[in-house]
Every structure is written in C-alpha cells, then in structure tokens.
C-alpha cells in the first residue's frame, strides 16, 4: 500500500520505514496465488481474498486487515461456530447472524468519529506513532496523543521502529493501560525482540501480549513454518528475560482458518477482520460479521481462545458495495462491533494515518480509519 500520494516522498518513506503496517494493494484474480482448495478455490493477495468457482469465475472478493484484546490475563474464549454453512449462492466467508458474544447491554453510541464519548475501558485500540510525513513521533507527541485516547484497557502497536515500544510503553504506564507489543519483521525477530526486552528493562507488568508478525502468511511474505519458528524463538528469548505474558502471531482470519498451525503455535488465536473490505456488509452489520469470523477462527483452531486483533470502519473514501465510508457509518460500525464484543477486540485505529498511501484496492479510505480523526 506504499504507492501513492507523492512519488518522491513514497520512496523516501519506504526506505526509512520498510516494515510499517498498511493494507496491501488489490489486484486482479489472475495475480493471486492459490493457497487453499475446498469447495471453492480461495486465492489470496496481501489481505485480499477472491473466491472463484470451479470454472475460475470470480464469486466474491474480500479484504481482511489486522488487530484485538482486553487487558485480562487470558482472552475470553469465543465459542466454536454453530452457524449453518453458507449456501452455494453465498460467499464462503459470508457473515452468519449468531447471538452477540459478551454483548453490551447498554453500550452508548459514539457521538462522532472524532469524539467517541463512550466507555472504552474494556477495549484495545491500535496506534501508530508516525507523523503525516512518515517521521517518528517524539515522546511528547505520543503523550499528547494519549491525552486524547485515554480510557482504553490496552493499546496495540505493530513493530519496534521509531523506538515505539519504549515511547508507547511510557504513555501506557501513565494511563494505567496494558501494551500489546509487536515484532513486524519475522526475519528480524531476534533484533526486534531484543528491542522489546530493552524497553521493558525488567518490568513486564504493563505488557499483555507480544505478537510476532502481522498478516505475513496472508500476504506471502513468510511461510507458515517461518512464522511458527519465529514464535518459538521469540517466546524463548522473552521468557529468558522474565516475560510471562502471551506470545502470538497475527494474521487475517482467512489465513488462520487455512493454516491452523499459526494459532496452535500461539497462546491464543489472533486474527484481523475488516468488514468494510468485504463489500457485502453494511456498517450496521459490522459487528455480526466480525463475530461470525471470530467463531470460524475458533472452530478451525479447535475451540481455542480467539481475539480479533484489528477491525474498524473508515470515515471517508469510496463506496465498496454495501460498505459506505462516512463519519456516521464509522460510528455505526464501531458501535455494532462493541455490541457484538464486550472485549477481545482491537479497534482500528486511534487516528487517521496520513502517512499511509492509497492504492485502487483501498477505496481511497486508507487515511481515514481514525476513530478520533486527525491526531492532535
């Protein structure tokens, strides 16, 4: 997804920060690699899933994107799926309509996309410490951001560049939150884990989870064996440094279902799911869609505890089928997700990520996922 606002700036940004998380480019079905064969053929490209029938005709297209949890010792289990399998006329990843899991009885709806005005203490929020020009935010800037987003139980970050484990940990501690830390580059697991160890400096009390990779199998960057091996390496290093929290890998829910080894090697199943990119889900139905996919992941992983580690809705951009980006729909989608989940979900994201670059597959929405609008 690094392809666009300004050509020269895009090149410089990629060189300076090659590991940052973005939704990938959507391409034609002929460009995809076949990774799973069931009743239909599932072809994938970074976070893009195209379902085709036996004659190779496209049936539906879905995007899936990253994060999820609450600051409890163990995420609440999402029960294995009990819904009926989709019919031949429906997409194989269509959302069922099960009863909400741990539903909120009276969750107040956010009043706007930039000022939620609700109690988010049971939820996790994803956060990226980058300025619009791709430069790293200072500790003062991170602290200023956290003055706006305080009230969450946990914050998820994706990597270790910009010394973000240390800067975000400082802000997290000041707000009494937990940290969902991350290693982004599986091939650099030793160095990135060491940065996390250095940032903790022997005090792991504010750490909940350390993730190893984000959608690396789905986008073809790593094999399943590479990721499983990296999880083991990271877990050993972290435990030797005194860490007793959770270690997982994060991938799309489709990749998790197709490769249960990923969740088997993790302390819980951690899957990203973005209903907006499905194209067949309205904002009001976002929560049920995400819940249905969480149930599918848990079922594929043998009933393992499951967390949706990234989900949300953009406030601007182009319409994708039934998915219409707007501030009102962002509010509706976030509230729908909060109704379906009282915890075990990471809302994406804190602020609009102007440092990212759009491509045709992101529907012009890549900058506009921030629940709180633009950063201070």
The residues carrying an active-site annotation are 310
Per-position b or e across 77-105, b if 16+ CB within 10 A of its CB? ebebbeeeeeeeeebbbbbbebeebeebe
Q: Are 301 and 269 in contact (CB under 8 A)?
A: yes
Tell me the C-alpha distance between 143 and 139, whole Å. 6
């Amino acid at each position: 997804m690094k392809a666009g606002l300004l050509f020269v700036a895009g090149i410089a940004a990629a060189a300076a920060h090659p590991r940052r998380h973005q939704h990938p480019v959507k391409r034609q079905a002929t460009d995809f690699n076949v990774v799973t064969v069931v009743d239909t053929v599932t072809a994938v490209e970074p976070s893009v899933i195209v379902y085709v029938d036996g004659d190779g005709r496209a049936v539906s297209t879905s995007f899936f994107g990253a994060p999820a949890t609450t600051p409890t010792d163990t995420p609440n289990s999402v029960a294995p799926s009990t819904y009926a399998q989709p019919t031949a006329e429906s997409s194989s990843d269509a959302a069922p309509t099960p009863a909400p899991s741990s539903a909120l009885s009276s969750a107040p709806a956010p009043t706007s996309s930039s000022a939620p005005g609700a109690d988010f203490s049971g939820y996790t929020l994803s956060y990226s410490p980058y300025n619009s020009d791709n430069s790293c935010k200072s500790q003062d800037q991170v602290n200023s951001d956290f003055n706006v987003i305080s009230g969450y139980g946990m914050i998820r970050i994706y990597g270790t560049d910009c010394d973000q484990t240390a800067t975000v940990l400082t802000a997290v501690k000041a707000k009494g939150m937990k940290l969902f830390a991350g290693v982004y580059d599986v091939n650099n697991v030793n160095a990135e884990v060491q940065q996390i160890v250095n940032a903790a400096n022997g005090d792991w009390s504010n750490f909940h989870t350390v993730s190893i990779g984000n959608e690396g199998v789905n986008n073809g960057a790593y094999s399943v064996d590479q990721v499983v091996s990296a999880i083991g390496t990271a877990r050993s290093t972290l435990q030797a440094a005194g860490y007793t929290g959770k270690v997982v890998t994060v991938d799309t829910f489709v990749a998790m279902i197709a490769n249960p080894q990923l969740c088997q090697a993790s302390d819980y199943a951690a899957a990203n799911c973005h209903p907006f990119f499905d194209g067949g889900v309205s904002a009001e139905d976002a929560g049920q869609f995400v819940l249905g996919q969480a149930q599918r992941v848990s079922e594929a992983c043998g009933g393992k505890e499951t967390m949706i580690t990234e989900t949300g809705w953009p406030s601007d951009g182009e319409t994708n089928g039934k998915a219409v980006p707007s501030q009102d729909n962002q509010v509706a989608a976030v509230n729908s997700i909060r109704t379906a989940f009282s915890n075990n979900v990471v809302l994406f994201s804190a602020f609009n990520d102007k440092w990212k670059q759009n491509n045709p597959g992101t529907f012009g929405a890549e900058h506009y996922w921030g629940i709180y609008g633009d950063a201070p």
